[in-house]
Amino acid sequence: MLKIGPYQFDNPLVLAPMAGITDAVFREICRQNGAAYTLAEMVASKKELWESKKSSTRHVNLNDPEPRAIQLLGTNPEELAEAAAWQVENGAQIIDLNMGCPAKKVCSVAAGSVLMGHPDKVQEIFTQVKNMVDVPVTVKIRTGLDSEHKNAVDIAQIAEACELDAITIHGRTRAEKFQGNAEYDTIKKVKQTVSIPVIANGDICSPEQAEFVLKYTGADGLMIGRATQGNPWLFRETNHYLTTGEMLAGPTELEFFSTLLKHIQGLHSLYGDILGPRIARKHFGWYLQNSPAGIENHQAIRRQFNQLDQAQTQLDLIKQLFAPR
């Protein structure tokens, strides 16, 4: 079973940190539906951004159950170490380092997955962050920069030598971004090479795929991201399948309605009257794709919802469409 530092988890499923998605509201819903632990959205290491309005919704939420995990993004070892210490002082209990993001705006400043091309800097970052905090430190990487430069095993060995507590690997290179299919051979090699916990990530979209990836790679855990958008019940269904070998029915109409309503209300509360309804639109669209049978004309419904800029009118439409009759 998955263990990170002193934390032993009941199951191997982890919610991936996704920018603009895995806020406190979504993390709580996923935990209630079976995620063993969750990571907050990545936070920039630059000190001047710590107290920005955007970052304020991404910091540690002391209402989160333990362990509270924060992912840091940056390139400067001293900055990252200082940011890690600040997060721990404010309640973080696991620090995760982002060396896997392929986004252009991240890579253009030599952060995220670009760091995999600089092993010496990676080692310096690992060393300084570990020396600065007394909580578990983990890292998320990719298989490499491109198909000709797959060095996940090398980075994993550096992580182990620097006494990191776990490593998550997305089964694509930086160049692939999210295109094509994830490959798990590299993750399997890493697991066979190092003794620290390895968490597999990439294209885990169903309970059956989760079981395959666990068995094929030998990984200690699975990180699930995009497949949970509008479908937090995937954690519950996957846990049931891994435990019993049987498929679990999806949410009832009442569960679907109450979860959607809770999520949208939570976004309104977290982000306010202007930003809340805007952010709610993408989440509503994802839920719509997983809505119960009988809901038709998805495109028209989504267009209607996207035109609403008031919290109450959004809630009224949800009740009109999904409230159990």
Active site residues: 101
Report how many helices (DSSP H) and strands (DSSP E) the chain contains, helices first.
12, 11
User: Are the CB atoms for 38 and 9 separated by under 8 Å?
Assistant: no
Give CA torsion, residues 206, 207, 212, 215, to 10 deg. Answer: 140
Question: DSSP of 131-142, one letter per residue?
Answer: HH-SS-EEEEEE
Structure tokens at 208: 């059956």
Question: DSSP of 2-51, one letter per residue?
Answer: -EETTEE-SSSEEEPP-TTT-SHHHHHHHHHTT-SEEBPPPEE--GGGTT
Structure tokens at 284: 């509503």
Structure tokens at 267: 């976004």
**What single-letter amino acid sits at 302?**
R
